[in-house]
Structure 1
């Protein structure tokens, strides 16, 4: 498998962890508007060097999650804004155009320095 996107979380917005209780993780690159950053896991934006689609694998630290669905604009949002909404519910059809669904238990111990990546 090849790494198609990798980044490091640098800051966690004050309300970002609240989304984890709804089985979501929301990311945005550094430089996000303050009202958006408050709800996101902020990272130093990496380059997307492949196609993000079901069958890929999402990795957060040592945890591995199979990608089960990718919304129509999720790849573009990740490439241009470093923004993605991950849902830890294993759905096989994307709920919203910017959502990526993965299968596995929602993480709760995310800290700055944690590496986030997609491999395909």
Structure 2
């Protein structure tokens, strides 16, 4: 598999973990504005070929894989330029919003700093 995006979570906004209970989460790269960072899982990017993100890719958080089922029209650009994604764990085949990525599977119970976040293409 080809790595198209890889990063490491470095901090968790004070309100970010609540979103996992609602089957979604939001990422943002290091340097996110404070009012946004409070709701995001902040990560430091290591590999960024986000333009390759599409349905059929695999998202990995730690050791858990999630098949990507749909990608909104702005998601690639947001991820590439800002490290920003809104990820929904609902397996939808059509993106709800332009910046949303949908994956199959259940949201993790938690995401801690130090955990890897990756996207792969087969």
Q: Is the 8 A contact 1:47 1:79 kept in 2?
A: no
Q: How does 1:26-37 map onto structure 2 within 5 Å?
A: 26-37=26-37
Describe the superposition over 1:47-103 as per-residue Cα deviations: whole angstroms up to 9, x where unpaired.
422510000000000000000000000000000000000000000000000000000
- The correspondence of residues 1-120 of structure 1 with structure 2, limited to 5 A, is 1-49=1-49, 50-120=51-121
So what's the TM-score if we normalise by structure 1? 0.97
TM-score after normalising by structure 2: 0.95
Please give the alpha-carbon distance, in whole angstroms, between the structure 1 residues aligned to 2:41 and 2:111.
Answer: 9
Q: Displaced runs of 4+ in structure 1, greater than 6 A?
A: none
How many residues are aligned here? 120
Judging by fraction of residues, say which structure has more strand.
2
Q: What is the root-mean-square deviation of aligned Cα atoms in Å?
A: 0.9
Q: 1:22 Cα shift?
A: 1.3
Structure 1 stretches lacking a partner, 5+ long:
none
Structure 2 gap ranges (5+): none
SS at match of 2:76: helix
Contact residue 88 and residue 103 of structure 1 kept, 8 A: yes
Write the distance in 2 (CA, Å) between the matches of 1:63 and 1:96: 24
